[in-house]
Copies of this chain bind each other. A is one copy, B any other.
Amino acid sequence: MEQLLPKVGRYEFTVEPFHCDFSNHYFLGHLGNAMLNAADYHSDARGYGMSYLNREHKTWVLSRLAIEMEHFPVAYDRIAIETWVDGVMRFFTSRNFAVTDAATGQPYGYGRSVWAMIDTDTRQPCDILALKDGLIEQYLKRDKPCPIAAPGRVKIGTAELTDSKTMRYSDIDINGHVNSVKYIEHVLDLWGLDWHRSHRLRRFEIAYVAESHEGDTLDFFREQAADGEFRVRVAKHGEGTDVCRCTLSFDRQM
């Protein structure tokens, strides 16, 4: 029987100056990357990470991600990302994140994510509870607070075509499809510097619907739901298949 590790993993990162935007705040895409890296380290050390799954012809697939920030760290800040699994069902597991100041523990913000496990040969979902006799259930941590809303269904009405981009070499990750956080970057690029200067992103939520690949041209449709509240639908040009759907909440900067 393997020795169990702590349920919560904690990983420190430095906010590199070249990972910050024009206002010196950490790019949400880079923060998302750091969260996915923390998830990877956490699951790997506990025996159900990518390196184990890949040998079994299985992989984790990110299904939904919500990030909500009180404020963003700036260049040279040392941050800690805590991550833990707070729910598991047959076909989905939910993983939470807390982003804190590494020295003081003060929270910058939180994340919630939903993952599926698929068979890389058949692309069909796998039974997560069957993995190593239910190993993940032993790591369930339900009592640690994550005070943001879970990511939900994103309904989009009559959004307007705002941009189109063709996916290239630098968008593609080891899985051969467009990297999950690259969508975040491309979506945030729908707003110009003037907007980002006068508004602070508070919450970003993304639901992944289908994979996209090199050479796919993606259409970005945007609609405004309320003051500072937007929805974005990303679809494959021509086919019209949805690739992902996002909601964004901005606060006006004083």
Contacts and interface: CB of A to CB of B under 8 A. Distances in A.
Interface string A1-42: 000000000000000111111111001010001001100100
A40 B20 CA distance: 14
Nearest to A180: B18
A3 to B, nearest CB: 22
A181 B24 CA distance: 17
Contacts of A181: 18
A21 to B, nearest CB: 7
A174 B168 CA distance: 25
A215 interface: yes
B169 A192 contact: yes
Contact of A169 (B36, B170, B174, B193): B193
Contact of A170 (B17, B33, B50, B189): B189
B33 A174 contact: no
Interface residues of A, number: 35
A67 B115 CA distance: 38
A172 B21 contact: yes
A211 to B, nearest CB: 13
Interface string A172-183: 111010010100
A22 B172 contact: yes
Contact of A75 (B21, B174, B192, B215): B174
A17 to B, nearest CB: 6
B168 A189 contact: yes
A17 B169 contact: no
Interface string A193-236: 10010000000000000000011000000000000000000000
A155 to B, nearest CB: 26
A40 B17 contact: yes
A227 B158 CA distance: 50
Interface of A: 16-24, 27, 29, 33, 36-37, 40, 50, 75, 168-170, 172-174, 176, 179, 181, 185, 188-189, 191-193, 196, 214-215
10 contacts: A17-B37, A18-B173, A18-B179, A20-B173, A21-B172, A21-B173, A22-B174, A75-B174, A168-B192, A169-B189
Given A169-B189, A169-B193, 10 more contacts: A16-B33, A18-B37, A20-B173, A21-B172, A22-B174, A24-B174, A27-B170, A168-B192, A169-B188, A170-B189
